[in-house]
Amino acid sequence: MSSQQLYHGDTEVSRKEQQPAMDHVPDALATAIAREMGNILVRQPLGLMDDFFLAGGDSSRAVELITRLVERCALGDAEATDQLHAALTLAMFDNASPAAIAEAIAKQTIERS
């Protein structure tokens, strides 16, 4: 399952809200992550370049987010899932924007395909 498929139907957001994401990362994925971050923070979806921690996230909420994303993006086998988990954990504490997290997921997905 590709990262685009995972978030199918979860993409509606006004273009006005969106900020530029990396060219090769699907907007739909980043938008869905922005919405998931908003759910966890009990607020509106984040902008694609907003930082999860600056928006109110802490380590405990980061674990919750990573857990949800890994569950939704299960890559088929345990080893791939572990690699995704590790990549997301490192990415969250490097650049915690929806766009950057989407890029980390997309990279893992591409590496597996």
Partner 1 sequence: MTSIVPTGMVADRLRSHARRAGGRIAVRTRSTTGWSAMTWAELRDAALSAVANVTGPARPRGPAIVLVDNTPASVASLLGLAMAGVDMLLMERENSYLHDERSVVNRLPATDLICPSDVQLPRAGLAQRTFNGLIAGPPATDPPRAEHPGSAILQLTSGSTGEPKIVRQTLGNILTGGALHRDLHRVTEADTLFAMVPLAHSFGLVGALATALVSGAGLMTMSRFTPGAVLEGLDAGATGLLGTPLVYELISPVLPRRTADARARFALSSGGPLAPRVGEAVGERLGVPVHQVYGSTETGLLACQYDRPEPWPENCVGTMAPGVEWRVRSHEGRYALQGRGQLLVRTTTMFLGHEGDRGSPFRDDGFFESGDLVEVDAVGHVTVLARKDTFVNVGGRKVNPRRVERVVAEHPGVREVFVYGGTARAGEEEIHAALVLGPDAGTGDVMEFCRTRLMRYEVPHHVHALPSLPRTGMGKVDLCRLLEIVAAAEKRTND
DSSP per-residue codes, 71-107? HHT--SSHHHHHHHHHHHHHHHTT--SHHHHHHHHHH
> Of the two residues 61 and 107, which places its CB atom closer to partner 1 in the complex?
61
Stretch that binds partner 1, among 8-16, 21-29, 86-94, 97-105 (CB under 8 A): 86-94
- Judged by beta carbon, residue 1 or residue 63, the one nearer partner 1 is 63
Q: Mask of contacts with partner 1, 40-79, x by CB under 8 A? A: xxxxx--------x--xxxxxxxxx--x------------
Smallest CA-to-CA distance from 105 within 49, 21, 30, 37 is with 30
Compute the distance between CA of residue 55 and CA of residue 47 in angstroms, rounded to an integer.
Answer: 10
For residue 50, the one-letter residue type is D
The footprint of partner 1 (CB under 8 A) covers: 40-44, 53, 56-64, 67, 82, 85-86, 89-90, 93-94
